[in-house]
Amino acid sequence: MWFRNILFLGICGLLLSTVAASLLIPEMPLQVSGHNPVAFQQPEFRGIVEKIDAQFQTTWEDEKLEPAPIADDLQIARRLSLGLTGKIPSVEDIRLIEKQPESQRIQWWISKLFEDRRYADFVAERLARAYVGTENGPFLVYRGRRFKLWLSDQLYDNRPYDELVQDLIAERGIWTDEPAVNFITASMGKEEGENQPDPVKLAARVTRAFLGTRMDCVECHDDNLGGDLLQSDFHEMASFFRGTENSFTGITDNQKKDYNYKYLYAEEEVVVPSMVPFNKELLQEQGTERERLANWVTHPENRPFARAIVNRIWAIMTSRPLVEPVDSIPIDGTYEDGTFPPGLDLLADDFIEHDFDVQRLIRVIAETTAFQTDSQADHEITAAHEQHWAAFPVTRLRPEQVVGSVIQSASLQALDTDSHIIAKLMAFGQQQDFIKRYGDSGEDEFAIQGGTIPQRLLMMNGKLVKERTSNNPLFNAASRIAMFSPDDETAIETAFLATLTRRPTTEETAYFINRLENADESVSRTDQFEDIYWSLLNCTEFAWNH
């Protein structure tokens, strides 16, 4: 018995010493295999960034806006982490970032994120909302989870985006063996007799998700609000899916099938041919109807395709698109002179020239002055500053970012795919429950939304924050910090880094040290840090991207 007790105490001591070391002793720099700092200093890479910066600078001068200064490295790293993984960086991540040369920190952090499966999984979830929506779909013929895993694999491998989209539009087979066809099967209804792909739903998805154009607004009538789209334009797009069928071999193409539709004010149905609404010269003759459409959508000269993903990736990274709404980019330009917002066309050009490389697109965006500007300045920041990206626009964190950041803040190490299975299972269960209660914005996740009283109460009194700040040294950072920090100043700094990704100001440090020193003696140090952590998680700064 005594031997087992000694062994148990020894294991506990080893565990506690490991925890203490992980908190107080910096880790050795992590080598990121895919990071090549030389590449991001080359004239070719710097050139596109400088051109984009010049366009924004011209706009700021025209609008007489003094831009905010560049944000510090940790603030930019926080934006990238929230945008690409849905979580704030861990204290471990921050230490690694700060070990890099200052000129390389941002691109090194992006390289590390690209090698982290959380990036691919999170961005795949964001894109899937545009591709197949957020509904569960028809169970027998739709596998949403399988689809997202496939999409995540494509992003992790950095497959050219045009090839990925071609698969989504034109793939054939069983939805389990060929996950891309879930883009097709998601259009089927759940009711009896609705077991075939819906050309109308597919046409709407293709135009919104891949062309950034809301052609479904002319499904029932011509555009009577000054646009030149016709009802026939939409249904001629839908006709490309007329032969798409669900059979015993999965999704197939029946080239002999017609698409019939009765137009508004028409007396009878007509056979609708397949045709694209613009850039008709890019439509090829060979292939199935879906293959023809896929090749046209992704054609390098079909610029709405590149603009659409540039606008969406920008929105994913910043929570606000260059053109709003994210899937409503006018074909003929957003301004009277037929131009687009600064950066959009330059990014689209670079994206096309570099073989639809999503990771390069992310790197270029992250390097621009517009992305790196601070959200505050010594001068007044107005709505015009945010509108024109002269200051980084502050936006509320989306539900998955809130819960992901709360869970990550409770761990000093990164909660990634290498984390223990127990930690991952706990995080998954808490995340699902929190989002259900907090509210999911669905497909309109980039729309500006205000906070609600139930959301504030959930953060202040909810189960998640309580569990993630309570006295538990094995799972909660608040307890570890209280137990193993050498002094109050180090403890407070670590708490700020873990929650707000910054160090406290002199005034903040003095305030919390005073609270600790003058706390009731009956309140333990761990309970005091539970209160400090709770207050940091519930402050306004934590809940916003800035």
Secondary structure, 3-state, 306-321: HHHHHHHHHHHHHCCC
pLDDT value at residue 336: 76
pLDDT value at residue 457: 79
Contact predicate 494/485, CB 8 Å: yes
Q: How confident is the model at residue 498 (pLDDT cuts 50, 70, 90)?
A: very high
- Give 38 or 321, the one with higher predicted confidence: 321
In a domain, 372, yes or no: no
Q: How confident is the model at residue 538 (pLDDT cuts 50, 70, 90)?
A: very high
Six token digits for residue 199 = 């050309």
Residue 56 neighbours by CB under 8 Å, 6+ apart: 342, 343, 368, 369, 370, 388, 389, 390
Q: What is the pLDDT of residues 44-58, one digit of tens each?
A: 999 999 999 999 999
pLDDT value at residue 215: 87
Ramachandran angles phi, psi of 395, nearest 5° = -135, 150
Nearest CA to 367 among 160, 43, 76, 122?
Answer: 76
The Cα-based distances of 56 to 41, 65, 199, 349, 368 in angstroms read 21, 11, 40, 16, 9
In a domain, 247, yes or no: yes
Query: Into how many domains does the chain fold?
Result: 1
- Give 405 or 7, the one with higher predicted confidence: 405
Six token digits for residue 523 = 């309140």
Q: How confident is the model at residue 228 (pLDDT cuts 50, 70, 90)?
A: confident
Mean pLDDT of the chain: 88
Contact predicate 480/473, CB 8 Å: yes
CA distance 411 to 92: 9
Q: Partners of 250 in the beta sheet?
A: 247
pLDDT value at residue 185: 94
Contact predicate 261/268, CB 8 Å: no
pLDDT value at residue 15: 47
pLDDT value at residue 525: 82
Q: How many CA atoms lie within 13 A of 215 on its CB side?
A: 28
Q: ω into residue 504 within 30 of 0, thus cis?
A: no
Mean pLDDT check: name the lowest of 14-23, 25-34, 83-92, 244-253: 14-23
Contact predicate 319/395, CB 8 Å: yes
pLDDT-above-70 percentage for the chain: 90
Confidence check: pLDDT of 509 > 80: yes
Confidence check: pLDDT of 5 > 90: no
pLDDT value at residue 477: 85
Confidence check: pLDDT of 422 > 60: yes
pLDDT value at residue 347: 98
- Give 319 or 15, the one with higher predicted confidence: 319
Nearest CA to 105 among 95, 115, 114?
Answer: 95
Tell me how long the chain is. Answer: 546
In a domain, 510, yes or no: no
pLDDT value at residue 17: 45
In a domain, 22, yes or no: no
Q: Domain limits at 234?
A: 138-148+165-297
Q: How confident is the model at residue 2 (pLDDT cuts 50, 70, 90)?
A: very low
Contact predicate 70/58, CB 8 Å: no
Q: How far is CA 19 from the centre of its chain?
A: 32
In a domain, 484, yes or no: no
Confidence check: pLDDT of 338 > 90: no
Mean pLDDT check: name the lowest of 16-30, 268-282, 501-515: 16-30
CA distance 288 to 275: 13
Contact predicate 115/157, CB 8 Å: no
The Cα-based distances of 373 to 111, 273, 369 in angstroms read 21, 49, 6
59-63, 141-145, 327-331: range with highest mean pLDDT = 59-63
Report the first-to-last Cα separation within the chain, whole angstroms.
57
Taking residue 304's Cβ as centre, other Cβ atoms within 10 Å add up to: 18
Mean pLDDT check: name the lowest of 26-30, 340-344, 467-471, 534-538: 26-30
Contact predicate 76/367, CB 8 Å: no
pLDDT value at residue 191: 67
pLDDT value at residue 31: 64
Nearest CA to 210 among 294, 112, 138?
Answer: 294
In a domain, 253, yes or no: yes
Confidence check: pLDDT of 147 > 80: yes
In a domain, 293, yes or no: yes
Mean pLDDT check: name the lowest of 173-187, 282-296, 416-430: 416-430
Q: What is the DSSP string of 68-105?
A: PPBPPHHHHHHHHHHHHHSSPPPHHHHHHHHTS-GGGH
pLDDT value at residue 258: 92
In a domain, 173, yes or no: yes
Q: How confident is the model at residue 313 (pLDDT cuts 50, 70, 90)?
A: very high
